Structure formats: C-alpha cells, structure tokens
Structure 1
Amino acid sequence: MDIFSIAEQDRIVQAISVAEGKTSGEIRLVVERKLKHKAAIEAAVKYFRKLDMHKTILKNGVLIYIAVDDHEFAIIGDTAIHDRVGEDFWGATQEEMVSFFRQDMLVDGLIAGIQQIGEQLQYFFPRKADDINELPDDIYYGEN
C-alpha cells in the first residue's frame, strides 16, 4: 500500500518498538484506505481477533485501527489494560491523535498515540526480564 513512505513506516514501527521495549504490552497498527464496516470500532474488533491480540498472555494488547480515506479510526485494548485505564484514557489518546490529524500530520498523530499507549502500558505492565514480544511490531495493512 502506498499510504506511508518507507521512512514514515520506519518511524511508526520504531515508535511501536520503543513503546513495547518498556512494557510487556503489545501494540498493533492496522491501516486501511476505506472502512468496510459501519464503524471503525467494528473494524478494530475484527482485526483484534484476526491478529490474535486476544491471545496475549497478560491480556494487555492495544490495537489502533485507521481508515485513512474515510478519516475514521478507533483504539481498543484487551481486558487487562482497559480495566486499568478506563474510557477516559482512550478518549484522551484519540483527542491527542486528532490534534495532529487536523493539521494533516497523520504519521505524527499515530506516533503520539503509540507513545501515550506505551506510557500507560509501561505504568501498568512494566517490562520484565523474561518478557517476550508476542506479536509483530510492523504495520498491518488491511483488506484494501
């Protein structure tokens, strides 16, 4: 997909790697051009399961879904992280990301969201010596 340049992809993947380097949590980014569901949250739930994020040991995976052309996105977290941060955190993270998106700074917005998510994951699920990276850090490009 030609949504991000190689340099932009590298920046995003690096942000995910840095965030995950401080936590046992897992962060995934799913990118599509167009929304195939009624709402971005529905797409996020679909990909959360498709990418086996519900199978992480500590139930602390977070997925960011974005449909670029439709200007829609959603963030969802597995039960263990959601129970700790609550709805306010997800809304605040989305607002931070939107502040960049409105300035046509898609990559910076995604990175800001990844960093905020990483900080919360680090706080509640700090990395331990025996932690393993359960899921890839790359960008997952959806069905279109």
Structure 2
Amino acid sequence: MNTLTRWLRHLWLDAADSRRCLTRAGLQRLEEAVTRSEARHLGELRVCVEGGLDLSQLWRGVDARDRALDLFSQLRVWDTAHNNGVLIYLLLADRRIEILADRGLHSRTAPDFWTTLARRLSDTLHQGDFESGLALAIEEIGLLLHQHYPDDGRAHNENELPNAVVLL
C-alpha cells in the first residue's frame, strides 16, 4: 500500500469506527473472555482496538508495532507483579494485530511465537471478523499464561489491570 493510501485510510478511520467494528454485546463478550482467562492464571491481558493513527503519528512514520509499544506503556501493561502482562493491539486502518508480552512471559516463549500467533490471527481479522479474532487471541494467550503462570490458589490473584477493551 502506498503512503498516500495509508494516510487517507488512517485519517478516515477513528474511534467511532472502533466502536462500529465491535458491538456493545461483542465488547461485553470480549471483556468476559478476559475475565474468565485471568481467573485461571496470574497474568494480565489488555485488548486495545484503534481506528487509525493521527496526522502527527503518520508524519513521524509510526506503524502498528510502534503504536503498540507506546500503548503497552500508556496502559501500564508492563507494570504487573509477575512481569507477565500481554497487550493485544488491533489497528483497523492497517488491519494489523500486534501482540506484546512483558519480559516475564516473553522470556518463556520461542523467539517467533508472538509474530507467528499474530500472523495466524490476522487471517480472521482480514475477513472482518474482529470479535472472533480477538477472542481467539485471548484464548490462546490465556492458555500460554495458564501454562507458565497458573493460578494454583497459593498466590493472591489480583486483577491488576482493567478487563474492558480499550477503544481509540
């Protein structure tokens, strides 16, 4: 995609488009999926859907990965007791999903695990089935977190981050 086409797509899509791609009921189901997942492990999941980047971000050459890194910090996904927070970020304008894991979980996975998972999920997202794609990401990451950070009842499983989907 050329630069002008990308810029136009980003400037066309906004937070209202994020709200349109996921119904209120769909947002509720995704939040419930995060809650169910986090009940089984000590990790924290955040889901963020953004319509498009603003003009200043486009001018600086920000891509989905850069924006996900910025949101990873802004949403404090890195600030969990076990360093095992995960951000699932969907940038609608680029139809790109980025998955970022904090160092505690990232160090326990194969080097290409996250990019492989994102690539697999992108097929669902390219078909416009955003809720199913995000639900699948929550499920798969939840299984991984349960494998490495199970809630065995010995540690206090505090909900450190909100479970609601962030729409930008």
Using the size of structure 2 for normalisation, the TM-score is 0.79
Question: How big is each residue's C-alpha offset from its partner over 1:40-66, in whole Å with a ceiling of 9 and x where there is no partner?
Answer: 111111111111111101000000111
1:67 aligns with one of 82, 91, 100: 91
1:118 & 1:72 partners in 2: Cα distance?
21
2:158 aligns with one of 132, 135, 138: 132
1:62/1:78 contact within 8 Å kept:
yes
Alignment of 1:58-97 (within 5 A): 58-97=82-121
Give identity over the alignment, percent. 29
1:50 aligns with one of 74, 83, 87: 74
2:95/2:126 contact within 8 Å kept:
no
Partner of residue 16, structure 1: 34
Question: How big is each residue's C-alpha offset from its partner over 1:68-96, in whole Å with a ceiling of 9 and x where there is no partner?
Answer: 13212211000010000133221232133
- The AA in structure 2 aligned to 1:86 is A
2:130 & 2:103 partners in 1: Cα distance?
28
Greater mean deviation of Cα atoms: 118-127 or 36-45: 36-45
1:67 & 1:102 partners in 2: Cα distance?
11
Instruction: Give structure 1 stretches of 5+ with no counterpart.
Output: none
**Runs of 4+ residues deviating >4 angstroms:** none
- The AA in structure 1 aligned to 2:34 is I
Pair 1:6-2:44 in alignment: no
SS in 1 for 2:78: helix
For this pair of structures, how many residues does the alignment match?
142
Using the size of structure 1 for normalisation, the TM-score is 0.91
Please tell me whether Structure 1 or Structure 2 has the larger radius of gyration of its CA atoms. 2
CA RMSD of aligned residues (A): 1.4
2:120 & 2:136 partners in 1: Cα distance?
7
2:51/2:91 contact within 8 Å kept:
yes
Displacement of 1:21 after TM fit? 1.2
2:46 aligns with one of 28, 44, 63: 28
Instruction: Give structure 2 stretches of 5+ with no counterpart.
Output: 1-15
